[in-house]
Structure 1
Amino acid sequence: MTTFTIEHVKKSFTNGERREDILKGIDLSLKEGEITALVGASGSGKSTLLTIAAGLQSASSGHIIFEEKDLVTMNPEQMRKLRAIKFGFVFQFAHLVPFLTVEEQLLLMLDIAEVSMSKREKKQEVQHILKLVQMEHRKNAYPPSLSGGEKQRVAIARAIIHQPKILFADEPTASLDSKRSKDIMALLQKLTNSLKITTLIVTHDEEMLIYANRVIRMSDGVIMQD
């Protein structure tokens, strides 16, 4: 089932008197329960496309349709609430709060997403998600004591704790070695399928593409292969 549609999205910048076209009319539909990977050389537009789809920057033109609403027409507060409640984010670095335990990181995300649960229910949900990412034994640990792979597992748990519809992952394995990268991608694959999330991922690592349901190759602001 299609859950997210990008329609003829363009993005341009003006550099002095010169105009730079970063995206040149992208059309793309994403499906529930699938990982769609965006790949391409540096400057191809893949990260720009992901950040525009996620509402982290605006398009110059076009439409982004989610739940029958156009993100392009939303005001900043509407966009903030949508990102907090419906979207999840995983980046190259985990960006965990250093003075919060693993459990507290996830409880904070539930508060940000305004999830209606009692304190006890929230703790139970945190335990459930940590078990899914095999980090329940580290719930009282602080980020400085975690390995790189463990930090990314916590970052993924934080990204899905509020049951988002769309998960955006920008180079989630770039800071990890090969084994940990494969572990993280296998985890994302498992969670995307079991939780029926729509996942859009940017990666430069060709070895990680075996975990994607769909691979889209970009070059010079256009889709070259889908």
Structure 2
Amino acid sequence: MSLFTIKNVQKTFTHGEVKEEILKGIDVTLPEGKITALTGASGSGKSTLLTIAAGLQTASDGQISFEQQQLTSMRREELRQIRAKQFGFIFQFAHLVPFLTVQEQLSLMLETAETPLSKQTQKKEIREILELVDMWKRKDAYPASLSGGEKQRIAVARAIIHSPKMLFADEPTASLDSKRSKEVMTLIQRLAKERNITVLMVTHDMDMLTFADHIIEMQDGKIVQDKTI
């Protein structure tokens, strides 16, 4: 039984009378608790595939299955609930709320995910996560005072604070230098293993592929290579 599968997913955009095929029948099974990296040249369709898999946009055809549930046939509110409670997201930039402290960023995420945790348990979980990402000492800091690497570590913490089963990462290290990139990817790799989180990550950085368990290379809307490390 697979946690997450993508079957014959297609995406076509129409511009007047012109149709542009972005995805041309994608089939992928994500190994549970592992990191799958989507790579390929700009315009290959990797970011489109990730956003469709995450339920952020719809496919023109095909099926997305999560825990044997068909995401592609869900009503909007059902899909929103899945995204809020079972999915975590990391993007190229941290997108932290400027007027919230580090610990308030995580508290807001728990509220958004509608977690059933008591306030006391939430505080304990926030401390545990911030200690895991080595940011507890900065718990009262605002985003403006954080470095790029620190912001991205908080973005990672925010993405997993509600214990999601899936983590979607779109170029999570693109805004960082090589040293900070490796630190963030080491963190994602460790947390995915410790918490059994299945990760789908888009990256153009070949150095980041060393952290992946499963690599999918895309070209012109198709998969040209699918290998498990």
What TM-score bracket applies, with the shorter chain setting the length?
over 0.9
The Cα shift of 1:202 comes to 0.1
The one-letter amino acid of 1:110's match is: L
Partners of 2:117 and 2:162 lie apart in 1 by 11
The Cα shift of 1:2 comes to 2.6
The Cα shift of 1:158 comes to 0.3
Aligned equivalent of 2:214: 214
Aligned equivalent of 1:58: 58
The answer to whether the aligner puts 1:20 opposite 2:20 as a matched pair is yes
**Aligned residue pairs: how many?**
226
SS in 1 for 2:3: strand
Please tell me whether the aligned partners of residues 3 and 68 of structure 2 are also in contact (alpha carbons under 8 angstroms): no
User: 1:140-198 deviations in whole A, cap 9, x for unaligned?
Assistant: 11000000000000000000000000000000000000100010111111111111000
User: 1:88-140 deviations in whole A, cap 9, x for unaligned?
Assistant: 00000000000000000001111111111111110000000111111111111
The one-letter amino acid of 1:119's match is: K
Aligned equivalent of 2:40: 40
Please tell me whether the aligned partners of residues 2 and 67 of structure 2 are also in contact (alpha carbons under 8 angstroms): no
- Give the alignment's TM-score, normalised by structure 1: 0.99
Aligned equivalent of 1:133: 133
Partners of 2:2 and 2:190 lie apart in 1 by 19
Partners of 2:2 and 2:172 lie apart in 1 by 24
Unaligned runs of 5+ in 2: none
Partners of 1:161 and 1:67 lie apart in 2 by 21
SS in 2 for 1:176: coil
Partners of 1:192 and 1:2 lie apart in 2 by 17
Partners of 1:178 and 1:9 lie apart in 2 by 34
User: Which runs of at least 4 in structure 1 moved beyond 6 Å after TM superposition?
Assistant: none
The answer to whether the aligner puts 1:8 opposite 2:13 as a matched pair is no
User: 1:54-95 deviations in whole A, cap 9, x for unaligned?
Assistant: 000000000000111111111111111110000000000000
SS in 2 for 1:168: strand
Unaligned runs of 5+ in 1: none
SS in 2 for 1:2: coil
RMSD, aligned α-carbons: 0.7
After superposition, where does 1:179-190 map in structure 2 within 5 Å? Answer: 179-190=179-190
Please tell me whether the aligned partners of residues 14 and 20 of structure 2 are also in contact (alpha carbons under 8 angstroms): yes
The answer to whether the aligner puts 1:31 opposite 2:20 as a matched pair is no
